[in-house]
Amino acid sequence: MLRASVIVRCVCCVAAALAAGCVQQQLPVRPPVQETWESPPPSPPAVVAQPLAATGHAGAAGGPQAPNPGDADNPADIIAVINGSPVSRSKMVAMLIESHGLRLLEELILATAARQRAAELSLTITGADVAAANEEALRRLAAPIGGADDQALDRQAAARLLQEFLDAKNISPSEWNRRMHQRACLRKIAEAEAHRIEITEEDLRKEYALAYGEKVQIRHIQVSSLAAATRVRSLLAEKKDFELIARQLSENQITAARGGLLPPFTRHDPTVPPLVREVAFGLKVGETSLGVREPLGSWYHILRLERRFPASDVGFENVDHDELRRRLVDRLLRQRQDALEAELFQAATVDIRDAKLARQFQEKYGARRP
């Protein structure tokens, strides 16, 4: 049995994709859409590097190799003609392997491992599962420092945020959709393991503290550069209204529409980054922070403390324990869902038969054997 108190979040930092049985295609996907706040990089999977001799063609077991100069003379291999010069499929494949092969291989490692785990558990991924994964991702994108489940989702604003995110990360809509399939699959795997979670009274008391303990409420202004954060601080030093600046300059369109106001959170709320919690609880009401930068992200947040809420006087014995249990299990499932990415990637045994990919993999991870 797994104790709920020892399940930790470990987000895999490689991209992922899903194949038939879990999704309809075996295609690569990008890393998680939400920025990880504090998680170490994953260990590599066991690998057996067995590069094949380059043949200029895709072998049955080895995949594409370096192209032959004569490939462009094969009409079936030509995919484009530029100013009269043919471009061969094999040349493009070789270029893609050289430039992006390792990232795609990492994605496919997790894709295959997730598909295999889902098949072992006889899981079926439905359209509703994918829609739920998409909803959760949009909420995380819309509320990068907590409170994602406590507000009605503004879908138009979320769609704009998503498009900006995809443009900034150079992610295609099809890649996003495949990522949502993968997230849905990982969620189903986590739910299938839920019977292993043991909820103790100690766990419920910790959840009670999260739900009923002292809370603070802040406004934030989210910007993407130090220069922008410095400009915001300068305007605030001139006694400009924080809420107005948030509406005008914050780059998070959803919270900007609310003047940067976020839902209240407790000192140990796991949906809020530790640094933000520390800064927020250290402020006096009406006080503004310096720029707080995400440890592993690219955003800066300027915070102002709006209110403090004392801990509830409702005792642990008088609260709805079933509701506490539901909240706790849902949070643990999310943590397990994220941890599965690292686990599946690390446990995979990979036989790399392309010379360039083997070299790239070993340069990044070092030689490892099962």
Q: By mean pLDDT, which of 44-48, 146-150, 166-170 is the weakest? A: 146-150
Whether the predicted pLDDT of 369 surpasses 50: no
| For residues 157-168, average pLDDT | 77
Residues 6+ apart with CB under 8 A from 353: 50, 51, 52, 59, 61, 62, 63
Q: Which residue has the higher pLDDT, 5 or 86?
A: 86
| For residues 26-51, average pLDDT | 43
Amino acid 50: pLDDT: 44
Q: By mean pLDDT, which of 4-18, 121-135, 137-151 is the weakest? A: 4-18
Amino acid 44: pLDDT: 59
Q: Which residue has the higher pLDDT, 148 or 309?
A: 309
Give the pLDDT band of residue 34 (cuts 50, 70, 90).
very low
Among 6-15, 36-45, 104-113, 234-243, the range with the most confident prediction by mean pLDDT is 234-243
Among 5-9, 135-139, 319-323, the range with the most confident prediction by mean pLDDT is 319-323
In order of their start, the domains of the chain are 2-55+99-196+328-365 (no CATH), 214-309 (3.10.50.40)
Give the pLDDT band of residue 169 (cuts 50, 70, 90).
confident
3-state secondary structure of 355: helix
Amino acid 151: pLDDT: 56
Amino acid 220: pLDDT: 92
Residue 180 main-chain phi, psi, to 5 deg:
-65, -35
Whether the predicted pLDDT of 119 surpasses 60: yes
- How far apart, in Å, are the Cα atoms of 26 and each of 10, 110, 279, 346? 24, 10, 44, 19
| For residues 340-362, average pLDDT | 90
Give the pLDDT band of residue 275 (cuts 50, 70, 90).
confident
| For residues 108-132, average pLDDT | 90
E-state strands within 32-189: 46-49, 78-82, 85-88
Give the pLDDT band of residue 143 (cuts 50, 70, 90).
low
Q: What does the pLDDT look like over 58-75, one tens digit per residue?
A: 333 344 444 444 445 678
N- to C-terminal Cα separation, the chain: 27
Amino acid at 141: L
